[in-house]
Amino acid sequence: MFNIQPNHNNQKPKTMFKIQSTNTPSNIAGQIFYTTDYGIFKELLGNRDIDERHVQKLIKSMREEYLEIPIQVNQRMEVIDGQHRLAACKELGLPIYYTINKGAGLEETQRQNALSKKWTMIDVLDSFCKRGFDDYIKTKSFIYDYGFTLYQSIQILNLNQIGRDVNVIFRLGNFQIKDLKKSQKIAKDLIKLKEFVPVNDIIVFRSFLILLTKSQEFSTDVFIEKMKYQSQKFKKQRDVKMQIEVIEDIYNFRNRTKINLRILK
Protein backbone atom coordinates (compact mmCIF):
# COMPACT_ATOMS: atom_id res chain seq x y z
CA MET A 1 0.00 0.00 0.00
CA PHE A 2 1.26 3.48 -0.82
CA ASN A 3 -0.01 6.36 1.30
CA ILE A 4 0.49 9.53 -0.73
CA GLN A 5 -1.02 12.96 -0.46
CA PRO A 6 -2.67 14.03 -3.71
CA ASN A 7 -0.82 16.73 -5.63
CA HIS A 8 -3.17 18.91 -7.67
CA ASN A 9 -0.46 21.14 -9.15
CA ASN A 10 0.09 20.85 -12.88
CA GLN A 11 3.42 19.11 -13.25
CA LYS A 12 5.28 16.90 -15.66
CA PRO A 13 5.01 13.19 -14.96
CA LYS A 14 7.66 11.92 -12.56
CA THR A 15 9.46 8.64 -12.93
CA MET A 16 8.68 6.33 -10.01
CA PHE A 17 10.67 3.32 -11.16
CA LYS A 18 12.93 2.79 -14.13
CA ILE A 19 13.42 -0.54 -15.79
CA GLN A 20 15.52 1.22 -18.39
CA SER A 21 17.94 3.92 -17.40
CA THR A 22 17.24 6.23 -20.31
CA ASN A 23 14.74 9.04 -19.84
CA THR A 24 14.45 10.28 -23.41
CA PRO A 25 10.91 10.59 -24.85
CA SER A 26 11.79 8.33 -27.79
CA ASN A 27 12.72 5.44 -25.53
CA ILE A 28 10.45 5.39 -22.51
CA ALA A 29 9.06 1.86 -22.73
CA GLY A 30 9.56 -0.10 -19.53
CA GLN A 31 9.26 2.84 -17.15
CA ILE A 32 6.47 3.53 -14.69
CA PHE A 33 5.33 7.13 -14.25
CA TYR A 34 2.86 8.85 -11.98
CA THR A 35 1.01 12.14 -12.17
CA THR A 36 -2.01 14.03 -10.92
CA ASP A 37 -2.31 15.92 -14.20
CA TYR A 38 -5.24 13.87 -15.49
CA GLY A 39 -5.59 16.13 -18.52
CA ILE A 40 -2.59 14.54 -20.23
CA PHE A 41 -4.60 11.36 -20.85
CA LYS A 42 -6.80 10.94 -23.91
CA GLU A 43 -9.71 8.66 -24.74
CA LEU A 44 -8.97 5.94 -27.28
CA LEU A 45 -11.56 6.12 -30.07
CA GLY A 46 -13.69 2.99 -30.01
CA ASN A 47 -12.80 1.99 -26.47
CA ARG A 48 -15.53 0.85 -24.11
CA ASP A 49 -17.80 3.39 -22.49
CA ILE A 50 -17.11 4.06 -18.82
CA ASP A 51 -19.16 1.81 -16.51
CA GLU A 52 -19.98 4.10 -13.60
CA ARG A 53 -20.81 1.18 -11.32
CA HIS A 54 -17.33 -0.24 -11.85
CA VAL A 55 -15.79 3.16 -11.14
CA GLN A 56 -17.70 3.39 -7.85
CA LYS A 57 -16.51 -0.09 -6.84
CA LEU A 58 -12.92 0.97 -7.50
CA ILE A 59 -13.41 4.18 -5.52
CA LYS A 60 -14.69 2.17 -2.55
CA SER A 61 -11.73 -0.20 -2.80
CA MET A 62 -9.21 2.65 -3.12
CA ARG A 63 -10.63 4.35 -0.04
CA GLU A 64 -9.81 1.21 1.92
CA GLU A 65 -6.43 0.52 0.31
CA TYR A 66 -4.73 2.31 -2.55
CA LEU A 67 -2.51 0.04 -4.64
CA GLU A 68 -0.18 1.59 -7.20
CA ILE A 69 -1.37 -0.48 -10.17
CA PRO A 70 -0.38 1.27 -13.41
CA ILE A 71 -2.70 1.81 -16.34
CA GLN A 72 -1.43 1.41 -19.92
CA VAL A 73 -1.24 4.20 -22.49
CA ASN A 74 0.33 4.49 -25.93
CA GLN A 75 2.77 7.15 -27.11
CA ARG A 76 -0.17 9.50 -27.80
CA MET A 77 -1.27 9.13 -24.14
CA GLU A 78 -4.45 7.31 -25.23
CA VAL A 79 -5.60 4.95 -22.49
CA ILE A 80 -5.26 1.36 -23.69
CA ASP A 81 -6.16 -0.37 -20.44
CA GLY A 82 -7.31 1.13 -17.14
CA GLN A 83 -9.78 3.87 -18.04
CA HIS A 84 -11.97 2.96 -15.04
CA ARG A 85 -9.00 3.16 -12.70
CA LEU A 86 -8.10 6.56 -14.16
CA ALA A 87 -11.65 7.81 -13.55
CA ALA A 88 -11.56 6.58 -9.94
CA CYS A 89 -8.18 8.20 -9.23
CA LYS A 90 -9.41 11.45 -10.76
CA GLU A 91 -12.51 11.38 -8.56
CA LEU A 92 -10.40 10.87 -5.43
CA GLY A 93 -7.58 13.18 -6.48
CA LEU A 94 -5.04 10.37 -6.20
CA PRO A 95 -1.94 10.04 -8.39
CA ILE A 96 -2.37 7.75 -11.38
CA TYR A 97 0.45 5.40 -12.29
CA TYR A 98 0.96 4.47 -15.93
CA THR A 99 3.24 2.73 -18.39
CA ILE A 100 3.71 3.68 -22.03
CA ASN A 101 3.23 0.91 -24.58
CA LYS A 102 4.61 2.43 -27.75
CA GLY A 103 2.60 1.64 -30.88
CA ALA A 104 -0.34 0.06 -29.07
CA GLY A 105 -3.86 0.84 -30.21
CA LEU A 106 -7.41 -0.43 -30.06
CA GLU A 107 -6.83 -3.27 -32.51
CA GLU A 108 -3.97 -4.65 -30.43
CA THR A 109 -6.01 -4.30 -27.27
CA GLN A 110 -8.97 -6.13 -28.80
CA ARG A 111 -6.74 -8.89 -30.11
CA GLN A 112 -5.33 -9.30 -26.61
CA ASN A 113 -8.82 -9.51 -25.18
CA ALA A 114 -10.37 -11.64 -27.93
CA LEU A 115 -10.06 -14.82 -25.88
CA SER A 116 -10.64 -13.19 -22.49
CA LYS A 117 -13.75 -11.97 -20.71
CA LYS A 118 -12.55 -8.40 -20.12
CA TRP A 119 -14.69 -7.10 -22.98
CA THR A 120 -18.26 -8.30 -23.24
CA MET A 121 -19.73 -8.90 -26.68
CA ILE A 122 -21.81 -5.74 -26.27
CA ASP A 123 -18.59 -3.80 -25.53
CA VAL A 124 -17.10 -5.17 -28.74
CA LEU A 125 -20.23 -4.34 -30.74
CA ASP A 126 -20.28 -0.75 -29.48
CA SER A 127 -16.57 -0.34 -30.17
CA PHE A 128 -16.75 -1.42 -33.80
CA CYS A 129 -19.88 0.67 -34.31
CA LYS A 130 -17.99 3.74 -33.10
CA ARG A 131 -15.25 2.94 -35.59
CA GLY A 132 -17.72 2.71 -38.47
CA PHE A 133 -17.76 -1.03 -39.17
CA ASP A 134 -20.87 -1.38 -41.36
CA ASP A 135 -21.80 -4.97 -40.45
CA TYR A 136 -21.62 -4.14 -36.76
CA ILE A 137 -23.74 -1.02 -37.21
CA LYS A 138 -26.34 -3.11 -39.05
CA THR A 139 -26.19 -5.73 -36.30
CA LYS A 140 -26.92 -3.09 -33.65
CA SER A 141 -29.86 -1.78 -35.71
CA PHE A 142 -31.11 -5.36 -36.16
CA ILE A 143 -31.15 -5.87 -32.39
CA TYR A 144 -33.09 -2.63 -31.94
CA ASP A 145 -35.56 -3.37 -34.75
CA TYR A 146 -36.41 -6.97 -33.83
CA GLY A 147 -35.70 -7.24 -30.11
CA PHE A 148 -33.41 -10.25 -30.22
CA THR A 149 -30.35 -10.62 -28.03
CA LEU A 150 -26.90 -10.06 -29.51
CA TYR A 151 -26.25 -13.81 -29.44
CA GLN A 152 -29.49 -14.53 -31.28
CA SER A 153 -28.93 -11.70 -33.75
CA ILE A 154 -25.45 -12.92 -34.67
CA GLN A 155 -26.82 -16.37 -35.45
CA ILE A 156 -29.74 -15.02 -37.49
CA LEU A 157 -27.54 -12.59 -39.44
CA ASN A 158 -24.99 -15.30 -40.11
CA LEU A 159 -27.79 -17.66 -41.21
CA ASN A 160 -26.78 -20.23 -38.61
CA GLN A 161 -23.40 -20.77 -40.31
CA ILE A 162 -21.62 -20.51 -37.02
CA GLY A 163 -18.73 -22.50 -35.70
CA ARG A 164 -17.09 -22.58 -32.31
CA ASP A 165 -14.95 -19.53 -33.11
CA VAL A 166 -17.81 -17.12 -33.80
CA ASN A 167 -17.11 -15.10 -30.65
CA VAL A 168 -13.47 -14.69 -31.62
CA ILE A 169 -14.44 -13.73 -35.18
CA PHE A 170 -16.90 -11.18 -33.84
CA ARG A 171 -14.42 -9.77 -31.32
CA LEU A 172 -11.72 -9.36 -33.97
CA GLY A 173 -13.98 -7.33 -36.26
CA ASN A 174 -14.34 -10.00 -38.94
CA PHE A 175 -18.08 -10.68 -38.58
CA GLN A 176 -20.02 -10.45 -41.84
CA ILE A 177 -23.77 -10.48 -42.47
CA LYS A 178 -24.61 -13.17 -45.01
CA ASP A 179 -27.95 -11.99 -46.43
CA LEU A 180 -29.71 -9.15 -44.60
CA LYS A 181 -33.08 -9.51 -46.37
CA LYS A 182 -33.24 -13.23 -45.66
CA SER A 183 -32.25 -12.61 -42.04
CA GLN A 184 -34.99 -10.02 -41.70
CA LYS A 185 -37.58 -12.51 -42.98
CA ILE A 186 -36.32 -15.13 -40.51
CA ALA A 187 -36.55 -12.59 -37.70
CA LYS A 188 -40.16 -11.82 -38.59
CA ASP A 189 -40.99 -15.54 -38.65
CA LEU A 190 -39.39 -16.03 -35.23
CA ILE A 191 -41.40 -13.12 -33.86
CA LYS A 192 -44.60 -14.78 -35.14
CA LEU A 193 -43.57 -18.01 -33.43
CA LYS A 194 -43.02 -16.23 -30.11
CA GLU A 195 -46.78 -16.13 -29.59
CA PHE A 196 -46.93 -19.92 -29.59
CA VAL A 197 -43.54 -21.29 -28.49
CA PRO A 198 -40.78 -20.09 -26.11
CA VAL A 199 -38.40 -18.87 -28.80
CA ASN A 200 -36.04 -17.34 -26.23
CA ASP A 201 -35.19 -20.81 -24.96
CA ILE A 202 -31.84 -21.60 -26.58
CA ILE A 203 -32.81 -25.11 -27.74
CA VAL A 204 -36.13 -23.93 -29.17
CA PHE A 205 -34.43 -20.97 -30.84
CA ARG A 206 -31.70 -23.08 -32.43
CA SER A 207 -34.21 -25.68 -33.61
CA PHE A 208 -36.41 -23.20 -35.45
CA LEU A 209 -33.40 -21.34 -36.81
CA ILE A 210 -32.14 -24.58 -38.35
CA LEU A 211 -35.53 -25.18 -39.96
CA LEU A 212 -35.84 -21.61 -41.23
CA THR A 213 -32.34 -21.59 -42.73
CA LYS A 214 -32.06 -25.13 -44.07
CA SER A 215 -35.53 -26.42 -44.92
CA GLN A 216 -37.23 -25.55 -48.19
CA GLU A 217 -40.49 -27.15 -47.06
CA PHE A 218 -40.94 -25.85 -43.52
CA SER A 219 -43.53 -23.06 -43.34
CA THR A 220 -43.92 -20.90 -40.26
CA ASP A 221 -47.56 -20.17 -41.09
CA VAL A 222 -48.40 -23.88 -41.46
CA PHE A 223 -46.76 -24.68 -38.13
CA ILE A 224 -48.64 -21.87 -36.39
CA GLU A 225 -51.96 -23.17 -37.75
CA LYS A 226 -51.13 -26.65 -36.40
CA MET A 227 -50.18 -25.16 -33.03
CA LYS A 228 -53.64 -23.62 -32.67
CA TYR A 229 -55.02 -27.07 -31.89
CA GLN A 230 -51.83 -29.00 -31.06
CA SER A 231 -50.16 -26.62 -28.61
CA GLN A 232 -50.31 -29.15 -25.76
CA LYS A 233 -47.89 -31.36 -27.69
CA PHE A 234 -45.13 -28.78 -27.72
CA LYS A 235 -42.66 -29.40 -24.90
CA LYS A 236 -39.15 -28.08 -24.46
CA GLN A 237 -36.52 -30.76 -25.02
CA ARG A 238 -32.96 -31.21 -23.81
CA ASP A 239 -31.35 -31.03 -27.25
CA VAL A 240 -32.01 -29.79 -30.79
CA LYS A 241 -32.49 -33.25 -32.29
CA MET A 242 -35.31 -34.10 -29.89
CA GLN A 243 -36.86 -30.64 -30.25
CA ILE A 244 -37.03 -30.93 -34.03
CA GLU A 245 -38.74 -34.30 -33.64
CA VAL A 246 -41.47 -32.63 -31.55
CA ILE A 247 -41.82 -29.86 -34.13
CA GLU A 248 -42.07 -32.40 -36.93
CA ASP A 249 -44.80 -34.38 -35.15
CA ILE A 250 -46.90 -31.24 -34.74
CA TYR A 251 -46.18 -30.05 -38.28
CA ASN A 252 -47.25 -33.37 -39.83
CA PHE A 253 -50.49 -33.70 -37.88
CA ARG A 254 -53.21 -34.85 -40.32
CA ASN A 255 -50.86 -34.41 -43.28
CA ARG A 256 -51.23 -37.00 -46.01
CA THR A 257 -47.69 -36.33 -47.11
CA LYS A 258 -45.30 -36.30 -44.19
CA ILE A 259 -42.46 -33.80 -44.19
CA ASN A 260 -39.17 -35.15 -42.91
CA LEU A 261 -37.54 -32.48 -40.75
CA ARG A 262 -35.40 -34.82 -38.69
CA ILE A 263 -32.61 -34.86 -41.26
CA LEU A 264 -31.91 -31.25 -40.30
CA LYS A 265 -29.73 -31.71 -37.24
Can you say how many angstroms the Cα of residue 1 is from the centroid of all Cα atoms in its chain? 34
Contact 93, 6 (CB under 8 A): yes
8 Å CB contact between 109 and 80: yes
- Amino acid sitting at position 155: Q
Structural domains of the chain ordered from first start: 14-113 (3.90.1530), 121-251 (no CATH)
CA separation (Å) from 7 to 18, 30, 34, 64, 130?
A: 21, 24, 11, 19, 35
pLDDT in tens, the chain (265 residues): 333 333 344 443 443 333 222 233 333 445 788 888 999 999 887 777 888 999 998 988 877 777 778 898 888 898 888 889 999 998 888 889 898 887 666 666 666 555 444 667 888 899 899 889 999 999 999 999 999 999 889 989 988 765 546 666 887 888 999 899 999 999 999 999 999 999 988 889 989 999 999 888 899 999 999 998 889 999 988 788 899 999 999 999 888 888 888 765 5
pTM, 2 dp: 0.61
